[in-house]
Chain A
Amino acid sequence: MTMRTTGTVCAAMAALVFSLPAPSRNLDLPREKVDLVAPPFVHDHEQATTRTPRIVEFKLVSEEKQVVIDGEGTKIHAMTFNGSIPGPLMVVHEGDYVEVTLVNPATNTMPHNVDFHAATGALGGGTLTLVNPGEQAVLRWKATRPGVFIYHCAPGGEMIPLHVVSGMSGAVMVLPRDGLKDGSGRQLFYDRIYYVGENDFYVPRDDQGRFKSYASATDAYADTLVAMRSLTPTHVVFNGRAGALTGNNALTAKVGETVLIVHSQANRDTRPHLIGGHGDVVWETGKFSNRPETDLETWLIRGGSAGAALYTFRQPGIYAYLTHNLIEAVQLGATAHFKVEGAWDDDLMMQVQAPEPILPAVRGALEQPAHSAYHR
């Protein structure tokens, strides 16, 4: 209750400070244009800012294109923001205005729009941004709530889930102006930030059980709806493709570095887990005005939301970052790797003895249960 009251007071103060003079069609605020970068990377930004609120301009271009989603060459007719699955992460600060130009190039075939979960009104902006091929629209919304939030295309009816499970979602991070804090109000910083967008795909199969490919999204439509209705994804992947964040594309960090991992899922629950590590400070529901949880082993990202986890790597090696539904992680693709360089800490862990045959003389060998009642 204390938190809530404080939050309300803060919000009221923020409203007083930031909404004077009353918003008009042309805000008299500084403008900043941000070039977005493709996930898992995030555009440069301040973690805490002393600057006054501003209008931050972003451009999202909807792009319909065929993409490969696994190592077998399975293809879908994807719908994307800026050509990537997920769409790029946009970072602003609480009190800033997000001004998005949504472009639907004439080369596309479908209407698209964007619903920002962080925005207030008009279905998150969806009703004000519905653009046909060859059109564009500009939407401005005020970032009033700190946290990580998804955005997604929601053109209406069956098209809503179809566009979302075809790749059309991304995330916004609204940072508190004075940066992230832990539960006791201590300032938190990160050395690196990665945005992991998770997608569930539903690829129709032929009667032999093989994935089908189609000449166009229209041709794929009927079968895809049936596959979606099963609620059983054929692929659950990070960054648009099984294996997109492994091998040469593994995420990197160094021992001692603190990494913020923003994880979004626009359609379905998921449970991130870092094998060999933890979530030091986790905003499981992704909203920074709530007290973060600490020392988590696994956290839940509710379908239709984003969460954020802060972790300082303490040990070098390869870490798997995956959904701890391990069937989905291993068989359906939802696994990323972290490659961490640095010095090994024997205090945290050491291999006292490498695997060797069991020898009676060796410590740890099976002992004869001579006095065991169990074997009598």
Chain B
Amino acid sequence: MSLRPIFKLVAVAACVASAAAIGIAVGADDGPPPAAAPAVVSLWPGSVMYRVAGDFTSAGKPVGAPLTMVRIDRPLAIMTHQVTAADYHRCVQDDACPPLAPEVVPVADRPAVKVSWRDANAYAVWLSSRTGVRYRLPTDEEWAYAAGSRFKDDAMPNFDADDPAKRWLARYDREAGEQQPSDREPRPVGSFGANENGLLDLAGNVWEWTSTCFVRRVLDAAGTTIGEPTVNCGVRVAEGRHRAYVVDFIRDARGGGCGVGVPPSNLGFRLVRDEDSMLRLRALVGRLRDAVGLRGAG
């Protein structure tokens, strides 16, 4: 297997990048070229107030989703920017990802758009095998944690349960009122700015896939789930200016017809890098050595 030495080299490079990322609480690491180890922001564990995704009913009527405190109990390494069209195209060239839509130009400074949840996963599998580090889509909770102030609580006031139109109209107005860029044309990376964690382009005109499935729960009067929820993993949560539930093989969520609402302008993604526990231990040891001045003794 002539590929093996190269693979190892890449893996080592990724380890170094991870260690560097772990060494700082919050911040971007530029890292080696994207195919090897994409730039990530590493976040310390913490908590986020999180409006649970999915639909909820109580006594046969729709009710608002509960708000919970979610604990992210491990460091979270998440891509600084969305996977670019050029990044994705490398996976296509390796025959590991379906081709981009013809109108999406594989350039380095624009996000990959018109990609389905399945495409995003194919990319994650490919990138993991290329780098030797596991990459995956974030859960919706992780996305919310990393997005910070750019995560929108999509709670609706509790409308008269007997008038289904009120909730519907309110949601339509809210989504229509979001500051929509006048076009859906993907913008250069960084055009929508950074959030307080240094992540670029969150809630711009590209929505991001998460691994969270659509779930419907029945609540009792106290808000406790009754019975088994309906879990539909053919529909995943996409995050952006508003939370959207999109069928996993859809590449373009534009609405019309029965789906009256404001659809995501574009579907793209960024990945989370899973930190191997040994890797994290080594990184910690490295930092401790640095701290006590044992440089180069490793």
Find out whether the CB atom of A330 lies under 8 angstroms from the CB atom of B254: yes
Contact of A210 with B by CB under 8 A: yes
Find out whether the CB atom of B227 lies under 8 angstroms from the CB atom of A359: yes
Residue of chain A at shortest CB distance from B229: A357
Contact A357 to B103, CB < 8 A, known contacts A71-B254, A329-B256, A330-B257? no
Find out whether the CB atom of A346 lies under 8 angstroms from the CB atom of B260: no
Q: Render A201-235 as a binary contact track against B, CB cut-off 8 A, 1 for contact.
A: 00000001111000000000000000000000000
Contact of B293 with A by CB under 8 A: no
Assembly CA distance A329 to B255 (angstroms):
9
Question: Which of B164, B258, B260, B261 sits near A344, CB closer than 8 Å?
Answer: B164
Assembly CA distance A264 to B166 (angstroms):
32
Q: What distance in Å separates the Cβ of B153 from its nearest Cβ neighbour in chain A?
A: 21
Find out whether the CB atom of B172 lies under 8 angstroms from the CB atom of A339: yes
Contacts of B196 in A (CB 8 A): none
Contact of A250 with B by CB under 8 A: yes
Assembly CA distance A73 to B183 (angstroms):
6
Assembly CA distance A82 to B67 (angstroms):
52
Contact of A355 with B by CB under 8 A: yes
Question: Which of B168, B176, B257, B261 sits near A329, CB closer than 8 Å?
Answer: B257
Assembly CA distance A346 to B102 (angstroms):
48
Find out whether the CB atom of B163 lies under 8 angstroms from the CB atom of A343: yes
Q: Render A241-253 as a binary contact track against B, CB cut-off 8 A, 1 for contact.
A: 0000011101000
Contacting A at CB under 8 A, from B236-269, are 254-258, 260-262, 265
Find out whether the CB atom of A357 lies under 8 angstroms from the CB atom of B184: no
Contacts of A359 in B (CB 8 A): 227
Assembly CA distance A126 to B276 (angstroms):
76
Find out whether the CB atom of A317 lies under 8 angstroms from the CB atom of B177: no
Contacts of B183 in A (CB 8 A): 68, 71-73
- Interface core residue of A71, A333, A339 (most chain B CB under 10 Å): A71
Q: What distance in Å separates the Cβ of B112 from its nearest Cβ neighbour in chain A?
A: 15
Interface residues on A, range: 35 or more
Q: Render B99-124 as a binary contact track against A, CB cut-off 8 A, 1 for contact.
A: 00011010000000000000000000
Q: Which of A3-11, A19-27, A174-182, A318-326 contacts B (4 or more CB under 8 A)?
A: A318-326
Question: Which of B164, B166, B176 sits near A351, CB closer than 8 Å?
Answer: B164
Contacts of B185 in A (CB 8 A): 72-73
Contact of B154 with A by CB under 8 A: no
Contacts of B166 in A (CB 8 A): 316, 344
Contacts of B265 in A (CB 8 A): 71
Question: Which of B57, B228, B256 sits near A354, CB closer than 8 Å?
Answer: B57
Contact A344 to B60, CB < 8 A, known contacts A71-B184, A72-B184, A355-B216? no
Contacts of A342 in B (CB 8 A): 165
Contacts of A318 in B (CB 8 A): 168-169, 172, 260-261
Find out whether the CB atom of B164 lies under 8 angstroms from the CB atom of A317: yes
Residue of chain B at shortest CB distance from A336: B256
Find out whether the CB atom of A209 lies under 8 angstroms from the CB atom of B169: no
Contact of A353 with B by CB under 8 A: yes
Find out whether the CB atom of B169 lies under 8 angstroms from the CB atom of A316: yes
Q: What distance in Å separates the Cβ of B235 from its nearest Cβ neighbour in chain A?
A: 13
Assembly CA distance A322 to B185 (angstroms):
25
Find out whether the CB atom of B262 lies under 8 angstroms from the CB atom of A247: yes
20 contacts between A and B (CB under 8 A): A68-B183, A72-B184, A73-B185, A208-B103, A246-B255, A316-B166, A318-B172, A320-B257, A326-B257, A329-B257, A330-B254, A330-B257, A335-B257, A337-B172, A337-B260, A350-B162, A354-B60, A354-B62, A355-B57, A355-B230
Seed contacts A208-B103, A320-B256, A330-B255; 5 additional CB < 8 Å A-B pairs: A335-B256, A337-B260, A344-B163, A344-B166, A357-B230
